[in-house]
Amino acid sequence: MNKITQFTKQLISGDNIGYLMVFAAGCLWGTIGLFVNLMRSVGADTSLTAFMRLFMGALILIPIMLHKGGLSMFKIDKRGLSQCFMLGILSQALFNYCYITSIGSVGVATASILLYTAPVFVCIMSRIFFKESIGRIKIFALIINITGCFLMVTGGNLSNLKLSTAGIFFGIAAGFLYSMVTIIGKITSGDIHPFTVVFYSFLFGWLSIGIFTSPWESIKAVSELRFWFYALGYGLIPTVGSYSLYMGGLRKRLEISKVPVIASVEIVVATLIGVIVFKENLNFINVLGIIILLSSIVMVPGTG
């Protein structure tokens, strides 16, 4: 019992709490597919689904922030606001556009693999911006993380993959934009509360999507009360919950290059939801991919 207590204290120590918050954020992100399918089941199209996620997220944060610290929670300087603007435009609106475009061109499997080039981009940029070291063990962890993702998504069946120049371009662009959440988020997370950062990034994100896609026109075709219930859940769980944990984790003492590897637990959770909720098949190669990916997550906090 003493050993278990000691291990628990070590696990939630200052050095690890940030990584645990990122891990929890990844778990919540893993429910995105569930909510997307629920939204589609009541007639919401892609642009409306993306818009409602950020719009509801921002709306949910307002009473939480007022309760937490009043109107002062909404105060932000020009530098912080410009960084949140970049987060909203690049890592919310433009990311969603590139990822959805890639899915439409090369399919979910290939787009998912291209998206998880993000840890490579973060590793490179963390070296440039934060002077983090890139050791052999860290590189190995990145390689097995991407390998695990590949095996989980494809199940060893390469026929699931589709290739096109445009699809590959937008998929890699989505991976790069996804990586910017970590880099810009770390830069922004200094003295600004995570709720404030998340709120303004959502605000700029849904405004951008609204201006370029006019999703509210699609609301006319959605009349079921379930739509608003699903939208509330989508805005709360894999949006406010996940991003608040993620941005909070970035404020802790951690190495930025390790963050996206730990957050990749998202794809494990998404796979398990697919099996449990949507009765998708899971073969030996899928399971092997899960084991490999989880191994990289366990390995990476201790790397140099």
pLDDT in tens, 156-182: 777 767 778 888 999 899 999 999 988
Q: Tokens standing for 156?
A: 């060893």
Q: According to the per-residue pLDDT averaged within each range, which of 27-31, 58-62, 279-283 is highest?
A: 58-62
User: What integer pLDDT is reported at residue 4 of this predicted model?
Assistant: 47
- Please tell me the predicted confidence (pLDDT) of residue 301: 67
Average pLDDT over residues 123-152: 88
- Answer whether residue 241 shows pLDDT above 90: yes
Q: Which of 84, 83, 154, 165 is nearest to 116 (CA)?
A: 154
pTM of the model: 0.87
Residue 274 has pLDDT above 60, yes or no: yes
pLDDT score at 3: 47
Distance from C-alpha of 301 to C-alpha of 283, rounded to nearest angstrom:
29
**Whole-number mean pLDDT of the chain?**
86
Predicted confidence (pLDDT) per residue in 177-233, tens digit = 999 988 888 888 667 888 999 999 999 999 999 988 888 778 877 868 899 999 999
**Tokens 């398990």, located at residue:** 272
Q: What is the pLDDT of residue 303?
A: 60
- pLDDT for 33 equals 84
Q: Max CA-CA distance within the chain?
A: 60
Q: What confidence tier does 236 reach under pLDDT thresholds 50, 70, 90?
A: very high
* Tens digits of residue pLDDT in 247-271: 999 888 788 888 999 999 988 998 8
Mean local confidence (pLDDT), 28-42: 89
Q: Burial of 220 by CB count in 10 Å (0-12 exposed, 13-18 middle, 19+ buried)? A: exposed
Question: Among candidates 61, 17, 168, 21, which has minimal Cα distance to 107?
Answer: 168
Q: For residue 9, what pLDDT is reported?
A: 52
pLDDT at 95 over 60: yes
Between 57 and 112, name the one with better pLDDT: 57
Give the whole-angstrom CA distance, residue 247 versus residue 7. 25
User: Per-residue pLDDT for 8 more than 50?
Assistant: no
Q: pLDDT-derived band of residue 11, with 50, 70 and 90 as boundaries?
A: very low
Is residue 100 predicted with pLDDT exceeding 90? no
pLDDT of 61 over the 50 cut: yes
Q: What CA dihedral angle connects 120, 185, 245 and 154, to 10 degrees?
A: -30
pLDDT value, residue 287 = 92
Q: Report how far apart, in Å, the C-alpha atoms of 116 and of each of 19, 71, 164, 293 are.
A: 18, 38, 18, 12
Q: Which amino acid is at 65?
A: M
pLDDT(73) > 90: yes
Closest C-alpha among 141, 130, 135 to residue 255: 130
